[in-house]
Structure 1
Amino acid sequence: MRRKGFTWDSTNQTYIPAVTSADSILEELDSGAPFKAEMIIKRFEEMGDEADPRAIARSFDFSDHRELGEYMESRNLFWDSDKKNYALRVDHSGDDKPEEMANLTAVVFQPTDEQKESLKSLEPYLPILNLLLQNKDRLVTLLMPQSGGALPRYAVPGKSVTQSIYMSEALTRLMKEYCDSRNLKQRDVIDVALIEFFKRYGYQREVDKLLGKC
């Protein structure tokens, strides 16, 4: 069954106005930070305490960390020393009363008829927008430039067990050379390789649960 002017909301199992659905999706996609800036924030999160602003700046084609900082500030993102990452700065200095702000929102931010028509035209694209939104983290990971060699660290819970595997002599030699050159344990490489594999090929939710992200 299809109702004109409405679209099916699979989450709530009911029909909702198409304008409301489109507006909600677009608002959620626009998190307040440009996509490139969001990728930079995610890189800092992944590297944690080992994050090197200079290396991260170069990996995103900035000349140095100062240019990276200027770019982030131009997007209203500032360095948070507690989080050791960039974050949106919210200005709470305004003296506007809550009721005045509510009136301002009601008057200024009401969509025009032209905007409503534009939102209605997005109805055919709502399924793909929903899909992109549900896989936002995976898309960011896939689109991020390759790091300059810094290995991400994952705090995998549970005790260690011995697991014998067979691999080609050439791969074994490459892994040994890589670990020796970067002073790493082979277990670190295996952990990262498996986690990245699972995240990319259908086990994102299971990996998030394992790492305590959900």
Structure 2
Amino acid sequence: MIVALPAEKRPVYDDRVKEIQRMLTEGKTREHVAKELGYSSVSSMHTVMNRKNFMWDKQKGNYVPTFTRVGERESIPVMDSSKAGQVVALFAKEEADAKVIAKRLGFGDHRELATYMTTKGYVWNAEQNNYIKMVGEIKEESESFAAEKMKDKLMSEMPIPSPTKGNLPAEEGMAKYMPLLEMLDRNKDKLVDLLVPGSETGKIPRYVVPGVAKTKTVHMMNMLEQLVVDFNREKNISQREIFEVALIEFFRKYGYEREVEQLLGQR
């Protein structure tokens, strides 16, 4: 039986928590953050974070949810109406049959159901005879390993200035990297959002698109269509808004930024 994580143990991601995590991610010390945010000491800030179910992770240099303590695994059940939640709920019943559940929820077969649950971050637990969503050490180690691997790759590909080529001063040798550094600086906020531990996905933008509403029939794979339905239900955003945001972001990314800005009246 999977027991839901009590509400009093869930991490509270309010504005102050996110601000503290963001500042620490930017490389500021706890002492600096505590002073800048008006705490009397680091201990006072630490107490506030503890009350919101966060603990200090020395290795990461930041606060992380208490229930992701190294070496600890927790099963986080889905108690909502999403399809993944329905799968977990049906398997929790006695004598649950994977084929019957798959058919009841609209999957082609139990293998398609298993693939879907994997994409939602669930793994099969033989002891509980159910899918569970794992958090903690396993996920953190895999992400850390991937990050270190990417870091090593970038470092190995970075050209090393040769001291025999003109013996250029360090300032001139770094000149060719300035455009890259400027680009990183312009996107600093986006990068920090990606790096802040435990943060949720960014706020979904909403657009007022001029024109007359028309019906457009689009065929897509059933698994992708199910993601749209799940996202619509879980994030409380209409399917029309999902596709509007997706198309606008797509056009902006792939060469239609000017046209989109004209459409939205930004130019």
TM-score bracket for this pair, using the shorter chain length: 0.3 to 0.5
Q: TM-score, normalised by structure 2?
A: 0.31
Q: TM-score, normalised by structure 1?
A: 0.37
Higher RCO structure, 1 or 2 (CA under 8 Å, sep 6+)? 1
